[in-house]
Amino acid sequence: MKFFTPFRKKSPWILHYNAGSCNGCDIEILAALGPKFDLERFGVINTGNPKQSDIFLVTGPVTYRSRERLVELYTQIPEPKVVVAVGSCTTTGGVFRGMYNVEDGIDRYIPVDVYIPGCASSPQLIIDALVKAGEILESKSKAIEKPFKLFGAIETIGNKLSRLNMAKKVHDDED
């Protein structure tokens, strides 16, 4: 859709998902959207709908139960899309690394474009990252991006996707 491309550049919409974070980074995202840091001057709007989003903002080290939802949301975002990992625990697992119910960071499941360090990462860093993400979004094509793993819970979607040769299904017992 050539028609929409210039608009997307000017106004990337974000989808925020909490994959088991402590809330610290989430409220910093809210603070960044607030009037002092004013992320909306870059045209960024927080949406709740993956189908309308361009940038996927993930916080949290990915808990056992949120990983399916994470992958599902990721596959629902239309290309081109950019994934931003907010906070230390999202990038590496951080303080939660090695706990029995967490998966040590999101890059085991979906490809990440921008990592933000910090526990909690400050609004300034989040703004920097989103500007960077906007640049990456411009340079990306419409080529389909796959998650690294899919799960049983989205089997029907998984089947449909695999017929399109988009994703390979990995069974739970692998990890």
User: In angstroms, what is the minimal distance from the CB of 152 to another protein?
Assistant: 17
Contact residue for ligand SF4 among 84, 89, 102, 167 (CB under 6 A):
89
Stretch that binds ligand SF4, among 1-9, 81-89, 123-131, 150-158 (CB under 6 A): 81-89
User: In angstroms, what is the minimal distance from the CB of 13 to ligand SF4?
Assistant: 22
Give the C-alpha separation, 106 to 148, whole Å: 10
Give the total of residues touching another protein (CB under 8 A). Answer: 43
- Per-residue binder mask for another protein (CB under 8 A), 86-115, x = binder: ---x----xxx-xxxxx-------------
* Contact (Cβ atoms closer than 8 angstroms) between residue 138 and residue 82: no
Query: Residue 18 phi/psi, 5° resolution?
Result: -100, 110
| Burial of 163 from C-beta contacts in 10 A (0-12 / 13-18 / 19+) | exposed
Give the C-alpha separation, 12 to 170, whole Å: 32
Which DSSP symbol is given to 36? T
Contacting positions for ligand SF4 (CB under 6 A): 21-22, 24-25, 59-60, 87-89, 94-95, 119-120
